[in-house]
């Protein structure tokens, strides 16, 4: 749940503080190492958030949007259905997390950076992204698989979920 207190929009490097699911389930102030600081690179988004917060004046610890996780999932399902998307994996809000990390990998961000953004202490948890990246690069470079491509899709579907 994002609150105005989650955002730091004033500095040279705006960011949002995000708590993991485990931390959100706990009461009280989270330990510093349980909070992820995610950079906000889109300056237009930052300016719109600043303007919106000044205009609406939400309370510091009040949720910015009265929308549940289930509502977001429902909206996303409707959008995928409406636009006729055909994906090899289910599209969920968590898919955007993976997409963001893959985007960082494609743009050659250091592994430590996207590991920190993802909130993974164990670097082995990031290996799934590098395996997907390798599969995608192999497809881009037309490196043939021994199978017919369905093998690659099956590998992606059976990768362990990251939390």
Q: Which of 45, 100, 106, 129 is catalytic?
A: 129
Task: Examine residue 33 and state whether it is found in any structural domain, yes or no.
Answer: yes
Residues 89 and 15 in one domain: no
- pLDDT tens digits for range 110-149: 888 878 777 777 777 777 777 777 777 666 666 555 666 6
- pLDDT tens digits for range 97-114: 888 888 888 788 888 887
Task: Examine residue 63 and state whether it is found in any structural domain, yes or no.
Answer: no
Mean pLDDT, to the nearest integer, of 19-39? 62
Which residues form the domain of 51? Answer: 4-56
Please tell me the pTM assigned to this model: 0.57
Lowest mean pLDDT among 4-18, 59-73, 112-126: 112-126
DSSP for the chain? ---GGGEE-SSSS-EEEEE-HHHHTS-SPPPGGGEEEEE---HHHHHHHHHHHHHH---TTS-SS---HHHHHHHHHHHHHHHT---SS---HHHHHHHHHHHHHHTT--HHHHHHHHT-SSGGGGHHHHHHHHHHHHHHTTPPPSS-SHHHHHHHHHSPPP-
* 129 given a catalytic annotation: yes
Task: Examine residue 21 and state whether it is found in any structural domain, yes or no.
Answer: yes
């Amino acid at each position: 749940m994002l609150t105005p207190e989650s955002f730091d929009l004033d500095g040279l490097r705006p960011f949002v503080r995000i708590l993991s699911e485990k931390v959100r389930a706990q009461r009280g102030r989270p330990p510093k190492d349980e909070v992820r600081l995610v950079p906000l690179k889109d300056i237009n988004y930052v300016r719109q958030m600043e303007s919106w917060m000044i205009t609406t004046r939400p309370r510091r610890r009040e949720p910015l949007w009265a929308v549940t996780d289930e509502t977001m999932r429902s909206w996303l399902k409707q959008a995928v259905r409406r636009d006729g998307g055909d994906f090899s994996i289910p599209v969920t809000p968590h898919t955007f997390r993976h997409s963001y990390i893959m985007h960082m990998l494609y743009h050659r961000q250091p592994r430590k950076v996207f590991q920190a953004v993802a909130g993974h202490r164990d670097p082995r948890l990031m290996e799934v992204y590098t395996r997907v990246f390798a599969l995608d690069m192999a497809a881009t470079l037309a490196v043939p698989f021994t199978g017919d491509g369905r093998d690659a899709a099956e590998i992606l579907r059976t990768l362990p979920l990251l939390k």
